[in-house]
Copies of this chain bind each other. A is one copy, B any other.
């Protein structure tokens, strides 16, 4: 994982449709070398997958909310129960004013209400606090940091 790899990742985040020849030129390598580097980044799991970024509003998911969930002890299947609700985009165990935080995209506020009801059906869920997003300034990919000095493997 050197600077060239990081640059390649950044370029692919911006546009994963460009050719390896283009990528190679951008980092001063041949098409083949760029291809090989990207292949290894995928192999190592640094690049998890190539995907498309979809406009939530355009597919009818205009309502964004974060729900903080308070509850008792979590069963082992809490994660599955959350994953079973397709409108939940993220789920995290948190330290702070609650024990779980989930990101929800609903079609309407009525739909959001329905999803909250589903959350309460999960065993252990006692209380929720919902934060509705009124406007999204931006949502963007992970920023690739520049490591201080070394070129070695990054912790993780």
Interface size class of A (residues with CB under 8 A): 35 or more
Task: Tell me which of B52, B66, B97 contacts A13 (CB under 8 A).
Answer: B52
Contact indicator A144/B49 (Cβ below 8 Å)? no
A141 within 8 A of B: yes
Expressed in whole angstroms, the minimum distance between the Cβ of A59 and any Cβ of chain B is 5
Copies in the complex: 2
Contact indicator A58/B89 (Cβ below 8 Å)? no
10 additional A-B pairs beyond A13-B54, A51-B51, A92-B133, beta carbons within 8 Å, are A9-B52, A17-B50, A51-B52, A79-B137, A82-B137, A91-B138, A93-B136, A96-B132, A105-B142, A107-B145
A–B pairs, 7, beta carbons within 8 Å: A14-B51, A49-B52, A59-B144, A61-B142, A92-B137, A93-B134, A96-B131
Lowest 7 A-B CB distances belong to which pairs? A57-B156, A91-B137, A86-B143, A96-B131, A92-B133, A60-B154, A93-B135
A interface, CB within 8 angstroms of B: 1, 6, 9, 12-17, 44-62, 64, 66, 68, 79, 82-83, 86-87, 89-97, 101, 105, 107, 129-145, 147, 154-156
